[in-house]
Structure 1
Amino acid sequence: MRRITRLPLLSPRQWKRRLVYWCGAIIVAAIAILFARAADVAQGLFTAALHGHAALALLIVPAGLAVSVVLTRRVFPGAQGSGIPQTIAALHMHDPRAIDGVLSMRVAIGKIGLTLLGLASGASIGREGPTVQIGAAVMHALGKLLQLPRIEMQRALVLAGGAAGVAAAFNTPVAGIVFAIEELSHSFEARTSGTVLTAVILAGITTVAFAGNYSYFGMISAQLDFGASWVAIALCALAGGVLGGVFSQLLVSASRGLPGRAGRFVMEHPAAFAVLCGLVLAAIGIASGGSTYGTGYVQARSLVEGTSHLAWSFAPLKLLATLVSYLSGIPGGIFAPSLAVGAGLGDWLSHLVPGAPVGAVVLLGMVAYFAGVTQAPITSTVIVMEMTDNQRMTIPLLATAMLAFGISRLICRRPLYGALARRFLAAVERRASN
């Protein structure tokens, strides 16, 4: 049985490790803040370009997606997709070269630039998933620089970087910790617990220092009183679980490749396929009046605050736009768009429960769909709770998330990120064996 050697508290090696965690967490938070501001600028540029010229989307979106796919495949392989599956896959890799392939600084730089390009092109993507991969890459790079033992780089650093990325992206420190446990590692190990906690705390402090002590969606006081209005929990859980499960299953199935001629076309002509996806995205955007472009943050916040109502078609169109964006092969996450879909779903379902506060039902729809997609009910609950600074909705949110998770699991048997990570690992192993 292998014994774990504990280093003295004041040993140089121990302080070297602490330095990596502390500096890494601060760097991750700083990058996340700058990334968030750049994402707002990129999305603003797209909105300004379409002002009074909605049909321009038929040119901008396909061109932007095609350029992004070409750069991803030729210059930044490993940067495609959300970034969370790659981070999970890296936790299970044993070949240092394979880990470098998904967590190098080159990949991180490509992830930032290409996600911004996607937002500037109107894609329905988010920056939060990419921030997880970027955070893990920063920690991994620091570990290599200071020549820490391989096990530290492979697990503790990646976990800490991913958790710090979530904490900084949403300004939700508790969600960062829960995300690392529930989604990235599926366990809480004594060896890595202190690492994750320290990284998240420092990332949170850095975020507050530079961006202020804010809530992602502001302070929302909505609550759901016990009684007949709790039927909203069942409605939101059912709808969110079904839609989230279907969305996840479609992504998992598509990750295996399309069948027949369609699959060969995608493999042989990825840029042309991206152009087709861009045309579909532009058509969806025009049909929705522009509401399906980008992260969906503005639409979700307006629904949560109750300052506006969107058409019933917003949720299904935003879901479709997010699906097409992901299938196109460009880098970009699904966190923020999923929250927007859930908010639209809750807003529509609120009409079926007239006795319940609209804001509360919107939050339930948000957590239901998000839990249905990720199949991480605890993380979903904590993220929505922290993003709205609303503890009074904790029990309804948790109940909705758990029910939606169960319903989603009936449709999509494996969690989305775990299934995509396994596909990614299998592809890496095939390349290594050839």
Structure 2
Amino acid sequence: MAGISRKNRLLRRSRAMWVSRRVWQPRLVFWAGAVSIGLISVLFALLADRAQALFHIMTGNEGGWRFYLPLVVTPLGFVLCAWLAHSFFPGSQGSGIPQAIAARHLRDEDDRSRILSLRLVAGKIALTVVGLACGASIGREGPTVQVGASLMLQAARWGGMAQARGLILAGSAAGIAAAFNTPLAGIVFAIEEMGRAYEARTNGLVLTAVILAGLASLGLLGNYTYFGVAKDTVAFATDWPLVLACGIVGGGVGALFSLLALKVMRRIRRWNALQPLPRALVVAAVCGFAVAVIG
């Protein structure tokens, strides 16, 4: 009798947990957050593609006076983006990946909100689209990471979920997976770039977020290949040495470029410290003109 009574108590407790609002509310909000990441990431990708197409239409391919239009449009676009970021969207500066990584290590909620929030979602998308429409060379990976992390963190606030570090990781992975239709890439990105280790307590969050965001993306656009399909093959005897050479040379040049960029950024930050906004606008104009000249 004691065993039957204990079993009945466990069954009643189990039923109470399954119908409890405290159990289902965080899950439903988390699922809704993952789906919203998928939808917004796809919308972001479409807007970015349209912005790039608009720039190509504006500049044309026939030559003439429109060939020189980027010399004016691109610097002005850079200045506009810098002013908007400084005045209305502070915290949107940067690629987005370092900001998401930093947010995982912050403990104060106010500090975390300065780099991950719904306001920054709107700002990051808007500034990226404006920059692409003006001819800027901007990748979507970093902004999508910050957008996904911001959306998932906001969902956690609404749902009363406490695992902020794991949710930021899950949101970042879901954004990558949905934006490029690459679920495995989202998981690998979460391990290599964001987490540096696959924590047992966050793997379920990452997988669930990636799956739901990916399903939302598939439901909106269908099964597509964003980067196209490579039909070339590699013959070991003739082509592999070239592959190795490209990897070694590309890695070395990339490392030198990163080192140079870090040194230049440190100097620019010290120079900007005295008059942040005016000097930031000057730097933006110079960079925009340089991008226009390089093409």
Structure 1 equivalent of residue 165 of structure 2: 155
Q: Is the 8 A contact 1:20 1:139 kept in 2?
A: no
1:130 and 2:140 aligned: no
Matching residue within 260, 273, 285 for 2:283: 273
Q: Is the 8 A contact 1:46 1:120 kept in 2?
A: yes
1:67-106 alignment to 2 at 5 Å? 67-106=80-119
Deviation at 1:224, TM superposition (A): 1.6
Partner Cα separation in structure 2 for residue 139 and residue 236 of structure 1: 38
1:172 and 2:182 aligned: yes
**CA deviation map 1:254-278 (0-9, x unaligned):** 3433387688677751112211111
1:197 and 2:207 aligned: yes
Partner Cα separation in structure 2 for residue 261 and residue 37 of structure 1: 37
Structure 2 equivalent of residue 113 of structure 1: 126
What's the TM-score once normalised by structure 1's chain length? Answer: 0.60
Partner Cα separation in structure 1 for residue 205 and residue 45 of structure 2: 25
Matching residue within 283, 288, 291 for 2:293: 283
1:21 and 2:16 aligned: no
Residues matched between the structures, number: 276
Question: Could you tell me which amino acid in structure 1 is paired with residue 78 of structure 2?
Answer: L
Partner Cα separation in structure 1 for residue 247 and residue 262 of structure 2: 22
Deviation at 1:146, TM superposition (A): 2.1
Structure 1 unaligned segments of length 5 or more: list them.
Answer: 1-6, 286-434
Flag the 1:255–1:95 CA change in 2: closer, same or farther, 3 A.
farther
SS across alignment from 1:257? helix
Question: Could you tell me which amino acid in structure 1 is paired with residue 31 of structure 2?
Answer: W
What's the TM-score once normalised by structure 2's chain length? Answer: 0.87
SS across alignment from 2:216? helix
Matching residue within 44, 48, 53 for 1:44: 53
Partner Cα separation in structure 2 for residue 229 and residue 57 of structure 1: 39
Deviation at 1:190, TM superposition (A): 1.1
Question: Could you tell me which amino acid in structure 2 is paired with residue 251 of structure 1?
Answer: A
Question: Could you tell me which amino acid in structure 1 is paired with residue 231 of structure 2?
Answer: S
When structure 1 is superposed on structure 2, of 42-51 and 89-98 the one drifting more is 42-51
**CA deviation map 1:384-416 (0-9, x unaligned):** xxxxxxxxxxxxxxxxxxxxxxxxxxxxxxxxx
Question: Could you tell me which amino acid in structure 1 is paired with residue 80 of structure 2?
Answer: V
Question: Could you tell me which amino acid in structure 2 is paired with residue 77 of structure 1?
Answer: P
Partner Cα separation in structure 1 for residue 269 and residue 146 of structure 2: 30
Question: Could you tell me which amino acid in structure 1 is paired with residue 253 of structure 2?
Answer: L
Question: Could you tell me which amino acid in structure 1 is paired with residue 151 of structure 2?
Answer: V
Deviation at 1:119, TM superposition (A): 0.4
Flag the 1:261–1:103 CA change in 2: closer, same or farther, 3 A.
closer
Identity of aligned residues (%): 46
When structure 1 is superposed on structure 2, of 213-222 and 81-90 the one drifting more is 213-222
Flag the 1:31–1:261 CA change in 2: closer, same or farther, 3 A.
closer
The structure that has the greater radius of gyration is 2
Partner Cα separation in structure 1 for residue 167 and residue 267 of structure 2: 32
1:258 and 2:258 aligned: no
Q: Is the 8 A contact 1:164 1:176 kept in 2?
A: yes
**CA deviation map 1:353-382 (0-9, x unaligned):** xxxxxxxxxxxxxxxxxxxxxxxxxxxxxx
RMSD: 2.1
**CA deviation map 1:68-108 (0-9, x unaligned):** 00110111011012111100000000010011000110011
Q: Is the 8 A contact 1:266 1:273 kept in 2?
A: no
Deviation at 1:227, TM superposition (A): 2.5
Partner Cα separation in structure 2 for residue 262 and residue 33 of structure 1: 36
Q: Which structure carries more helix by proportion?
A: 2
Deviation at 1:136, TM superposition (A): 0.6
